[in-house]
Structure 1
Amino acid sequence: MKYEKRNLWDRLLGKQDIKPLPGETSFQMMSGYTPVFRAFGNDPYASDVVRSAIHAIATNAAKLKPKHIRRTKDGITHVNGPLEKLLSLRPNELMSTFDFIYKIVTQLYLNNNAFVFIKYGPTGQVEAFYPVEASHIELVESQDILFVKFQFANGRKIVAPYEDFVHLRRFFAKSDLFGESNADALLPTLELVKTADEGIINAVKSSAFLRGLLKFTGMLKDKDIRANRDSFVKDYMDVTNNGGIAALDSKSEYQELKNDPKMVDSKQLDLIQDKVYRYFNINKAIITSDYKEDQWNAFYESVLEPIAIQLSLEFTSKLFTSGQQGSGNEIIFEANRLAYASNTTKFSMIRDLMPLGILSKNEAREILNLSAIDGGDEFIQTLNVVGADKANQYQLGEKDKLKGGETDDEEDESTSE
C-alpha cells in the first residue's frame, strides 16, 4: 500500500495551523481541576514488571469480539453490517482488531486515559478508528462546543471536537473528564523494583572483584610482584585447577578476602513485584499463564469484563445517535470465557443445558473447540421438561380424566345392580 509522504494526522484532519479557537476558554470542571492531562513522564512501561502485567491484560482483552446488535421486544438481532466488519477485522489500515484493542488497553493502563479518533467519511459513515497516543491533552470550549487538543512527543499538535473521540478512563476520581495519573501511586513501587534490580547487578559485578591478597615476605620489585601474582593466579585460581588446593613456600602467604555482597532475597523481590501486580489487579499466575479455572474466572470478572463493559458503552454512545440507541442499537465486546474452563466444567454445562434447549449442537461443539457441522444450529430438548402452561394443562387433564373414570365406574356398578 502506498502512503502519502505526510503525517498521519495531516491526512486525517488536514494540515492544521493550531491557533486559539474563536472564543476559546478552558473547560470549566465542577471539581475545580484544570482539564489538562500529561502522560507519566518516567515511562513505567520501561519496567519489565509493569510491561508484563499490562501485556497480560491487553493480550487477553484483545480477544474480545466487537459485535453490532439490536435489542427489540422480539429479542436480540445480530446486525452484520459495515460497522461491525470494520471493528471486527481492521479498524484502520495500520492495525488488525487484535492490535487495535491491545493498544487501547495498553494506553488505558499506562496513562489511565485512552483516546480513539473516529474518522467519518463525506456522507457521515464511519471509515476508521485510530488510537491517539499524546504526551499532553487539553480540553477547551469554543462556541459551546467541547474540543480536545493533543500534543505529541515530537511537538506536533492537533485539535478536534471531543465527540469525535472514544474516551476510556481508569482511576476516574478527582477530575470530571480525565483518569488520574499513575505517577504518585506507582512511582515509589517502581523505585523499589529498580533498586532491587540494581542490587542484583551490583552483587554479580562484585563477585569479579578482589578475592584475596598474596603477601611476600621479601622485598621484591613491582614487576616481580606482578609476575608472582600472575603465576599464582594462573596455576591455582584457574578453572582447570580441579583439586582446588594451592601450595606456597615461606616466601609468600595468601590471605582470602571475604566477599559477602548484600541483595534482596527472593521473598522480598516477590513482595515488591506483587505490589505492582496488585496495582494492576492481576496476579503472577495470570502473567505466567499458569492459572487454574477459578483464577481465570476471577481475572475475567474483575479485569476483562469491566474493560468489555467500558468499551461497549463508550463505542455505543459515540457511534449511534440517541434515536439509534432508542431503537436498540449497541456495540458489544464479548468473550468466550468458557474457552479457559476445565473439561469437567465444559462437559457438565453441556450435559445440564442441552436437555433444556439452551444450547444448540454447534454451540456445544464450540465449547469443546470443535468445528461446526451441518444442521448443528438446531436445538434439542428432552421430553422430561415442558413449559409451565403445558404442565398445568397436563395436570388438569389428568384430574379430569381421573374424575371421569370414577363416574364411569359408579355407573357400571349401578347398572349391574
Structure 2
Amino acid sequence: MPNRPAVQVTFQIMRREPGSSLRVQSYRLDNVLPGNTILDCLNRIKWEQDGSLGFRKNCRNTICGSCAMQINGRSRLACKENVSEMLTRAIGTDEHGEPVITVAPMGNLPVIRDLVVDLQPFWARLESIHPSVSRAEQLAAAETVAAQERSPQQNHPVSTDRVNQASQASPTDQSTDQPLDQPLDQPPDQPLRETRQTPDQRALLEQAGNCIACGACYSECNAVMVNPQFAGPQALAKAQRLVDDTRDRATAERLSQLGEDGSGVWGCTRCFACNEVCPMEVNPLDRISRIKSVLLAQAATAGEAIERPLRHRQTLVQMVREGGWIDERQFAIRVIGNSGRDWRGLASLAPVGWRMVARGKMPLTFEKSEGTDQVRGLIDAVRAVEAAQGTAQPPLPDRES
C-alpha cells in the first residue's frame, strides 16, 4: 500500500491563561503525516511554534489517560486519534474553506491553563464511592484473634501463628467447606486468608477494570453538567465492579449509597455519551444499568416499598408494554404520587397540573400507539431471557382491562 503524502493542517486550540477569558488560537503545521496522532501535532506546535502551550501527556500509547481533551467537539485521547481520521470529522474550516481540527479542554471541569483542567472534582467523585475492596470485617477479626492469643504477662506483641497459619492454608485445606468453583466467604477465624475467585467470577470484573481514569466520560456527561451531586459515569462503573466482586464485604452499604436519589445511579440520564467516548470500551452506561438491575432485584426480593427511582423505571416499562408509549396523564401520578398513596407527592403535582390545564397541554385521552403488540412482544422476550439467566426483576402488575 503506497504511503499517503504529508499534508498541511490547521489547528484551532482553545486557550486560557490564569485569570483571563478563553480565546481561540490557530496554528498551521506543514508536513503532517496522515498517521500522526493529535498528540504528535501538539508536541510539534509546542516545540516548533509556541512553547507556552499547556497540555498533559505521558505514555503516548493509550495507557495512562493523561492526554484526554476535546477534539472536534468530542472528548478523546490525543495519543489515540490520528490526523487523517480527525480531518474527516472536522467541525470547522479555515479562511480558505479547508477543514481544521479543533482542540479544547475537557468539559465539566475547571480550566487551569490552556488544555490542562483541574481533575479534583473527578477524583472526589471517585473517592465518594469508596473505590477499593472492603475487607474491614476480616481485619477486625484478625485483631480479635491476636488479642485472644495475647498473654497478660507479656508486654510485647504476641505471635500470631494462628493468623499466619490461616493465611498460608493450602487450597485443599479442610478448614474451607466450599470447593474452588464456589464463592468463598471468609470464616471469622481465618481473617487473613486469601479470597479466591473462579475464572467466571473474575471475568465479571475485567471490562470495568480496563478503565484508565482518563475522564472522557465525565467530560461528556450531561447529568454531571446539571447535577453537582451525581457521582458520574466513571465512579459508578468502578462501583459496579466492586458490587460484582466476590471479595468485597461492603456490598449492602454500597448498594444503599448507589441507590440514593440524585447522587446514585438513578441520576443517570441514559444519554449513551459515556459509552460513545470511552477509549477502552468500558461502557459505563452498561455498568450503571447493571447496578440498577441489582437494586431492582434487591427491592423485589426484600418486599420493600418501591422507592421513587425504582418506581420510575418499572412504571416506564409497564406503560410502554401496555400502550406502546407513556400515558402522560398517569405517569407522574404513579411515580411521584405512588398511584395515589403518596399525598405529598400528589400535592406537589397540583401546580404543574393546573398550569398544563390552563395552557391546554393536559392530554384528556390516551390512545395506544401502532405496533403495541410488537413492543409488548419485545419486552416479554427480554424478560424471558432475563428469567433464563436469573436476572429478571418482577414487574409491577399489569393494569390492562
TM-score normalised by the chain length of structure 2: 0.27
- Please identify which structure carries the higher strand content: 1
- Where relative contact order (Cα < 8 A, 6+ residues apart) is larger, the structure is 1
The structure with the larger Rg is: 1
What's the TM-score, normalizing by structure 1?
A: 0.26
